[in-house]
Amino acid sequence: MLSFPNAKINLGLNIHAKREDGFHELESVFYPISWCDILEVLPSNKLSFNSTGLSIPGNKNDNLCVKAYNLLANDFDLEPVSIHLHKCIPMGAGLGGGSSDAASMIKSLNQLFELKLSQNQMLSYARKLGSDCAFFIYNKSCLATGLGDVLNPFNIDLNQYEIVVVYPGIHINTAWAYSQLVPKKLNQSWVEDFRQHPYNWSTIKNDFEEVILKEYPDIKKLKNNLLMQGAEYACMSGSGSSVFGIFKKGVKIDITSFKSYKYYLHV
């Protein structure tokens, strides 16, 4: 069973409340992009996990693919599987790669063992693994609220654009980033403005940029580079440090200017 878990970008991100449990209420639009990992799941004599590609830190048993298997194995009599993940999406980049791997694992097990899980059942399992895992069950542009796990379809098509995503190799501690923010109550959601006036990028922002671009000038420089090259909109994805630019097709983009960065994608 072979799948290609893809990344996502955040078209804007607002943090508007801190909950009593310490987590934050947010509002964002998640949009899938074609930066993919490769996940192979095969029946085996014992459960195993191996990875190639980008190095994955930590204990193998803590990998979200293994956790997804164990989560479903609690409810179903699953045979052991061999899991091979070829990692291409950089970690700690704000692109949701690990969450996508987990969602693809749920889908793969559902198909491999003919569990006949509905989409809602897979969503329920995904939410137990992480706030944005559920998005990758849908894997279509969605308005994300709550912790990022309350999802509603959001009709936006970026096929008339080219997207450049650049990861500068800077690790942003998500807990630190949240601790620096003062949640701002939403008087009027930019999402509604954007829904009424599609592709009016001027109303969108990412609250994390106010803190992170000040702390990490290289990320600000990267964003400015994308804008100077003609991007209609450039923004950090999630809490970073990846930055993406959205260009009208036909705009000449100097991709060589991003070769000094660790990873980049042009789609």
Kindly report, residue by residue over 5-36, the tens digit of the pLDDT.
999 999 989 887 666 665 778 889 999 999 99
**Is residue 8 among the annotated active site residues?**
yes
Query: What is the predicted pLDDT for the residue at 262?
Result: 66
Q: Measured over all CA atoms, what is the biggest interatomic distance in the chain, rounded to whole angstroms?
A: 56
261 plus 137 within the same structural domain: no
Write out the two tokens for 108.
């793969």
139 plus 244 within the same structural domain: no
Query: What is the predicted pLDDT for the residue at 92?
Result: 83
Quote the number of domains for the chain: 2
Q: Which pLDDT tens digit goes with each residue over 156-215?
A: 889 889 999 999 988 888 788 888 887 776 655 777 788 888 788 888 889 999 899 999
202 plus 124 within the same structural domain: no
Q: What's the rounded Cα separation, in Å, for the pair 134 and 120?
A: 10
What is the pLDDT averaged over residues 253-264? Answer: 77
* Domain hosting residue 128, numbered range: 2-153
173 plus 44 within the same structural domain: no
**Is residue 132 among the annotated active site residues?**
yes
Q: Which pLDDT tens digit goes with each residue over 234-255?
A: 999 998 899 999 999 888 888 8
Provide the pLDDT confidence category of residue 148 given band limits of 50, 70 and 90: confident
Whole-prediction pTM value?
0.92
Higher pLDDT, 107 or 61: 107
| Selected catalytic residue, list 37, 101, 107, 132 | 132
- In whole angstroms, what separates CA 59 from the centre of its chain? 22
Query: What is the predicted pLDDT for the residue at 182?
Result: 76
Query: Among residues 120, 153, 186, which one ends one of the domains?
Result: 153
Q: Which pLDDT tens digit goes with each residue over 35-52?
A: 999 999 999 999 999 999
* Backbone phi and psi for residue 87, each to the nearest 5 degrees, phi listed first: -90, 120
141 plus 173 within the same structural domain: no
Q: What's the rounded Cα separation, in Å, for the pair 79 and 37?
A: 24
Q: Match 């009208």 to its residue by tokens.
A: 248
- The type of residue at 55 is S
Query: What is the predicted pLDDT for the residue at 267?
Result: 63
9 plus 141 within the same structural domain: yes
Q: Which pLDDT tens digit goes with each residue over 69-119?
A: 999 999 999 999 999 999 999 988 899 999 999 999 999 999 999 999 999
Q: Residue 180 maps to which CATH number?
A: 3.30.70.890
| Selected catalytic residue, list 8, 87, 107, 223 | 8
